[in-house]
Structure 1
Amino acid sequence: MKTKIIKIDKDNVDRALIIDAVNIIKNSGLVAFPTETVYGLGANGFDENAAKKIFAAKGRPEDNPLILHVYSVEQVRELVEEIPDIAKKCMEEFWPGPLTILLPKSNKVPNIITAGLDTVAIRMPENKIALELIKMSNVPIAAPSANISGRPSPTSAKHVIDDLMDKVDMIVDGGETGVGLESTVLDLSGDLPMILRPGGVTKEDLQKIIPNVTIDFAIIKEDANIIPKSPGQKYRHYAPKSEMLVFSGDIDKITDAIIAKAKEYMAIGKRVGIICTDETKEIYKDGLIISMGSRRNNETIAHNLFNTLRLFDEENVDIILAEGVEPSHLGIAIMNRMMKAAGGRIIKV
């Protein structure tokens, strides 16, 4: 397969350029496209054969559900049994945007999309290219992140090209994504509203509408026996090619621990990468050092995290030592991704 690459200005979307991508979607093909979170690998959400191509291209286990992307609330109605009032309020407040809502599915949604579960995950992306692609295709678009399964999610077209070139029909280059982390997944299918995956819409944001919303324990605990209700719950995700350790606790103790650990690894000939922040960058004297941004701005850290992991891949480091952040608000999502990338290896200091 030869992948076609097209560039589209996300602020001035040329509908004529999207037509080829629409035709690919309608003919059971795969299109990688930008959203405001990360790049997605899209296929017709009603087409079982197209969905199978997503799993094949990514090397993704078929028990890992896919998210359906829509361009309107009206489009949701054919995908679910009903839209409860609380879901309507969340859609009004957070759509379009980085919030995925889990609801009991209708019979129209293929089982391969939901991994055989009776719930379906749906969101309306904020990116204008994504919305236009979905609207012109006139079908919900199933789209996990456009990367090889388990690798850091793609926040630029270059990342998609690195992973999926000649494995998909088209890559739409719409520049860098904004949020940089996948959407928050909110389960509204049962009696207790629960966050299954943290993201750009935080627990604190949701509590303004849903005071009793909780966070699933799987977010902060590795468990191989979890039956995933949403993407990102069961398998190691976002992983760089090298080993990774995350350090959490007081920042002064974190920097001391990373300096000591870096010396240990370098003493045995290992090439060390250090993920730090602007406030600590000058403290480190050895290793390949990359800052994700200021510790006072988690939005910047979230935006830069996956790109930072890929930069270390390009430098062929043997071990990555990463500063954790305070696990509150958006920091919960950042630490969730770091924990997954490190395979659960967090050192508390």
Structure 2
Amino acid sequence: MPAPDEVSDWTRAGVHPVAPGVHRIPLPLPNDGLRAVNVYAITDGESLALVDPGWALDVALTQLRSGLAELGAEFGDVDRILVTHAHRDHYTQAVHLRRLVGTHISLGAGEKPTIDAIMAGDEDGGAQDRLEHLTRLGAEELLPLLPLPDAPPGTWEAPDRWLTDRTVVRAGGRGLEAVATPGHTRGHMVFVDDKHDLLFAGDHVLPSITPSIAVEPAPQRLALRDYMDSLRLVRAMPDRMLLPAHGDVTPSAHARIDQLLEHHDMRLQQSLLAVSQGCTASDVARVLRWTRRERHFTDLGPGDQMLATSETAAHLDLLVHQGRLRSAIHAGVVRYGS
């Protein structure tokens, strides 16, 4: 679930050095359970790059301007922006900065279907797509409870460069390897600084919460399988300092990956045991407990209920793929059974 339970000081405004030439600048996410997003400024004194510059809001832009000023820089000094994925709290401010000062944006090529779908937009703000998604989950009653989208299609644009897996890009005077890690989104990428043992992880590995799975306009059918495979991919690499998009920097990416894999293995088993013949993802989500505090489904807000139900569907669909469950669609609703 992507809603943190405990308040920590990682959201405190300012510039926080995390490694030589790398600074963490938290930016606010108003009315969002995540509370903040980490922007990473990378510089060698001559070149300046940003990773995941945040959500295009006035308050975030002001805070980013102040952070760069502490580093003796301004927006026009940023020569490259790397974005791990196309969610609004990572990508939209990159587009805004490019409109302001022409900064070059790089994004994983796997995000192109998402960018295309968002930019195409529709007159109902995506309400029909959302209704079809919720119907599939057996949770259409959530639709009137959910807020309308607050980042219109015009907030997004295509990047200057679509990155492919294992491309090395120059950022802040160093080389970063872009590694495809689909799951959280279909085109998610992490950026690896091999020389300094740093992992710019975006939302792939978060230190205290489990990333949502495939919450996007054009999701992959087996996004949880992709996500767990991507976790194993990064686990097979040398261990590095974890620089997440949400939460504090931690010394070992491997330690957190092990916890996430264990969590999803346990969740698969819990989901399997919770299935009754003909049930929906919504039915199963209501049986399970959520967050570290083991909350009941009914104690969650509508947005988190939607995320919880979507995550449950991802686990159930993987169980079907593994041959441990069966599924069938009736009137647009997916129902599961043994």
Scaled to the shorter chain, the TM-score interval is under 0.3
Give the number of the structure whose residues are more often helix, by fraction. Answer: 2
Which structure has more relative contact order (CA 8 Å, sep 6+)? It is 1
TM-score (norm: length of structure 1): 0.26
TM-score (norm 2): 0.27
